[in-house]
Structure formats: structure tokens, C-alpha cells
A and B are shown apart, each in its own frame.
Chain A
């Protein structure tokens, strides 16, 4: 399972990365929506954990772009209380789930696992279809 953390708060991003890495999760972090898209271009990723409110390109826009360019990549939204609408909007746009900051590490990892499973099933289906067609 390959994770990508996207958050513009560097301190938050780094600590979260450290904690996840300590749990032997294959995870990387970037500080903005643009960087996330750039990363996805070059690196194989299963699940993106995306902050909704970011300066520059915000979470929703990033999500839209990710879903457009990498439809298989699952996205988990991180929101504050105030951006519930954004979270719902995100779900409508195809995000896997959302979590409210501050979140429990275990919850996050469970959700990531679920998302990864969904992705695996999806890609499995697609692979099978490709084989069937091929």
C-alpha cells in the first residue's frame, strides 16, 4: 500500500509522516495540491490523504484533478469542522471517505486500508477486463 499525504501545514505533515513510517507504512508527503499532482505523475500511489483547506490549489480542486488524471487512486479527505460542506462535496466527487482533524491515527490507517482494498478490487477488475478483452 502506497500512501501520499497532502497538507500545507509542514509540522503536521512531518509528524504524521514520522508516525506512519514508524508503523511501517509506505508513505510520502507533499505540501500542496500542485506538488501532489506532480508526485502522482511520477510515482505509483494507491491512496491519497488530502487536506481540504489549503492555500493555492485547494483540496476540492486537487481531488477533481486526481480523479480526472488517476481515476483509480482513492482519496481520503481531511477536514476541519467548518468545511463539512467541502467534505460532502468531496464525497460527491468520488472521495473514498473523510476524516475530521484532529484524527486518530488508527482510524486513519483503517480507512487507508479500506481504501486500498477498494482500489485493489477495482484494479483487479480492470486487469481482468483487460485480460478478457486482450
Chain B
């Protein structure tokens, strides 16, 4: 028989399910905790690291740019200090200065000019035709004339291209002069442009009006409010670098690192999408999740496989136990039948003895030759009648015994328990008679059927009756068996008024191999078998006993309802499959 192909019953299926769930829960909980905690810690430290790195980067560039601006300003200051303004009008001299600057500092300085107090450019050198240009209305001029040194914001100006101006003021001959240089925007822009990390990291510079001072790689319109907040935060907190993570105008979560430039006029902002900045973290997380999922799949598969295997094993051992139980019940049955047989043998012996005597009597009569008179023939007839009567008596006894023995299979069927009890009482009547026990049955008529194995139930009652008769063997008494219906259950009480069971034994009475009979007389299995049988039927068996008053065994088994009939039919087809 290949057990593997047998589908498991719902009990084993739910057992499997519970085991699978338990194993999964126990394995997943630590794995999940470790993974989550590790990822969380890792993510926190990675964030810290990235922030520190970006902060450092921006700070370095801020210093770079600041020092670039300061350097350029100092160049111009130096120039201003050395220029003799008497000759300011000399074009050649300016040209010479620009050429020297460009030689010394590269092509950063685009042009150079001298502007007088009225905003009139008196000297100019550079690629544009700006000689004689009038700056009296230009913003930068108004501010440059107010301070000794000045660096302007980026603007388009007269030349129509973005640039910014560094200027120095000098007083000469009671006149204020401004010497100004234009910084190459491309050159300046490169300072910021080269700040690039990953795919999305870039930097730009804004002034307080929120206008770009450099050309950002990705074009967008900056939100003035946000940048003003940066300005004020940085100024208030006195921090050099401010790091924030928020959604940008496109709804992409980004890191913003900002620092003040040019004494607080400009804001250097570095922006990078979070996903890009934390791509390493994302990779690590992905790997962790992949491993977690793979591990999870492995655990689930393992749990299902193991539980299935274990439950199969449990099912097999349960099956073996069942078989063993059946064997024990069979053994117990033989024992109780043996006990019964003693009573039956005597019962048969009596009529047989009578028949033998009657036959002997007939023989006696015939030996005397006295079979001619009417009286003799009457005596013959009487004796033969008696033999027939006693023969019938034997037949009844053997029939009773046969009907008992015939119900040997433990097939479950529906039957009315009253009939079974009557039968057993009839079988035990003779034994009871010799033990001077009065057998009383109180069976409620028309009890609903129960679903059980007749032979098993027979055994239960036979055990209980035998026990009661044994208990009252010396003293005699009454054994009452009652059956009634109560809340969908059949309640059967077997009560005697024998010596009762001492309290100490009462708890152990259903234990296997517990017996108070002398060694060799009882197996100690009877009541434990009864217990097993009744519980298998979904019923219960209880005992109440008072010493010197009597013992009552109470059995409750579920009565069969229509609904139960349907269930039975379903389970019957189940087992057929």
C-alpha cells in the first residue's frame, strides 16, 4: 500500500498549515529583524557619510569660489593702486595693464576700463567697442561708486552677454575714479560647472533676487522663497553649509546643499537627486531584499516540505496506533467474551444436563420394558417434550451468543442503542442471576439512532456490566442501565449499588493496565478500551462512585441528526476515494 497517494484528512491538513506557519514565523522574524535593523543602521550611516561628503565638497568649492573672487578683486585693487590716474585717458596704458593681467592670470579678465565720477568710461580695452560708454544709470555703477571695492552680480549689460564686474574706486585730483574689469563668465562658470557627481548632481549660484549667477546644467526656475530661506537659515545659524532633503519642483526627492558666497550676496547650491546620491545604498538594499526574498522562498519551501514530511510521518504513526488500538480492543473483546463465555457455558450446561437425565430416564423405562401402559407412554411423551424444551433453550442461548459474535467487525453504522443494551442484558442475565444481581433496564422508547460500531459499543457495555457484576459478585445488588435522550445526546447510565470505588483509584480507573483484580484475572484494559471507544465516537464517559453506596458510569454519545447524516455521507465518500 502506497501511503503517499492517500490524501490527508482535514485534521492533518490544518496541522500541516499550522506547522508551516509556525516554522515560517519563527524563521522569518529574526531574519526580518536582522535585515531591517541592518538596513536601517546602514542607511543612517550612509546618509551621514553622503551628507558629510557633500557638505565637504560644497564647502571646498565655496572656499574656492570665494578665493577666486577675492583674488580677482585684489588683482584689480593692486592695479588701481598702481595706476596713475593722471594718465587714465591713455588707451595704450590700459591695454598694457590688461595684457599684463591676462598674462599673469589667464583669460579670466575679459576687458578693463576706467570710469569717471559721471559714469563716463574714459578708457577701455577689450574685445567690445565700449569706449566712451556711459554707465551713469547702470546699477553696478551706482553701487560701485559708493564703495571702495565692488563685485557685481551677473548681468547682461551693454554688451548683451552675461558677465560680472569687479571694480575698485580711487580718488585722484578730487575726482572719484572707478577702475573696472569684466570677469569672463565662461571661466567663472567653469568653477561651478565642474562640480558634478553622479548623474544628477550639479551646482549653481543664485543671488538674493533668485537669479542665476552661473548657467545651471539643467534648466529650471528657482523658487525665490526657498532660496531666501536658505539665505536666512545660513545667516542666522552661522553655519557654513546647510544640507536639506526635499522634493524639488518636479517632485523628485533631492538633496540640497547650500553655502553663502561673496559675503552673503550669493548662494552656492548643490543639488542632487536622492536616488542618485544614495545609489550605493539603493544597491545594497536591493541586494539585501533579493537575498531576503530568496531566503524567504527557501524557508517557505523548506517549511512546506518539512511539515508535509513530518505530518505524513505523524499520520503514518497515527495509523499504526489506530491499528494497534484496534488490536488492543480486539484483545480486550476476547477477554470480555471469555468472561461472558463462563456464564454462557453454565447456562448451556444446565439444559444439557436435564436432557441427558431425561434421556437416561427414558433408557431406564425401556430397560424395564415398561413402555406399553398408557401411563408409561405419557411419561415417554413428557420426557421427550422436556428434551425438546431444553433443546430449544440451548438454541436460544446459542443464538444470543451468535448474534453477539456476529457483530465482530468495527464497521460504523446507525442503530438504536436500546436494542443492543437489551441483547447484552439478556446475555448477562444468567451470570447476574448467580451473582444475585437484579438487572434493571430503563430505556426511553424511540431513542434516536447513534452512529457507531455495534461491536465496539457492545464491548463497552459488556465491560461495564461485567465489572459491575464482578463488584457485586459476593454481595449481590442491583444493576440498572438507563438510556435517555438529552440535548441531542444519548445519555446512558450504568449504575450499581456495589461496594464502590475508593477515591484513590477513581482517577486512575481509565488508565490502561490499571486493575484491582488479582494478577491473571484482569488485563486492566477493559475501561481504558471503553474510554477509547467512546471518545472515538465523539462522546464521553465519566464515573461517579461512593464507597459502600455504588458506582455509576455515565456515557454520553452524540445522537444522530439529519445534518449529521449528511456529514456522514460526505465523509463516507471521502473515505471511499
B341, B360, B390: which contacts A11 (Cβ < 8 A)?
B390
- Bound together, the chains give a CA A82 to CA B343 distance in angstroms of 7
Interface string of A115-131 (1 = CB under 8 A from B): 00000000000000000
Interface string of A8-45 (1 = CB under 8 A from B): 01011001101100110000000000000000000000
- The answer on a CB contact under 8 Å between A101 and B349 is yes
Q: A11-B390, A82-B345 are in contact. Are A58 and B434 (CB under 8 A)?
A: yes
> Is B53 interfacial (CB-CB < 8 Å)?
no
- The answer on a CB contact under 8 Å between B346 and A55 is no
> Is A71 interfacial (CB-CB < 8 Å)?
no
Work out how many contacts link A and B, with CB atoms closer than 8 A: 62
- The answer on a CB contact under 8 Å between A102 and B357 is yes
B472 to chain A, nearest CB (A): 14
> Is B305 interfacial (CB-CB < 8 Å)?
no
Note all chain B residues with C-beta closer than 8 A to A53: 346, 434
Interface size band for A? 20 to 34
B342, B350, B361, B436: which contacts A9 (Cβ < 8 A)?
B350
Note all chain A residues with C-beta closer than 8 A to B350: 9, 12, 80, 101
- The answer on a CB contact under 8 Å between A54 and B354 is no
Note all chain A residues with C-beta closer than 8 A to B511: none
Interface string of A46-60 (1 = CB under 8 A from B): 000000011110100
- Bound together, the chains give a CA A11 to CA B386 distance in angstroms of 8
Contacts of B415-445 to chain A: CB distance below 8 A: 433-434, 436
> Is A81 interfacial (CB-CB < 8 Å)?
yes
- The answer on a CB contact under 8 Å between A102 and B353 is yes
> Is B352 interfacial (CB-CB < 8 Å)?
yes
Binding site for B on A (CB under 8 A): 9, 11-12, 15-16, 18-19, 22-23, 53-56, 58, 80-83, 101-103, 105
Binding site for A on B (CB under 8 A): 341-343, 345-346, 349-350, 352-358, 360-361, 364, 368, 383, 386, 390, 433-434, 436
27 A-B pairs with C-beta separation under 8 A: A9-B353, A9-B354, A11-B358, A11-B390, A12-B350, A12-B357, A15-B354, A15-B383, A19-B361, A53-B434, A54-B434, A55-B436, A56-B436, A80-B346, A80-B350, A82-B341, A82-B342, A82-B346, A83-B342, A83-B346, A101-B350, A101-B353, A102-B352, A102-B353, A102-B355, A102-B357, A105-B360
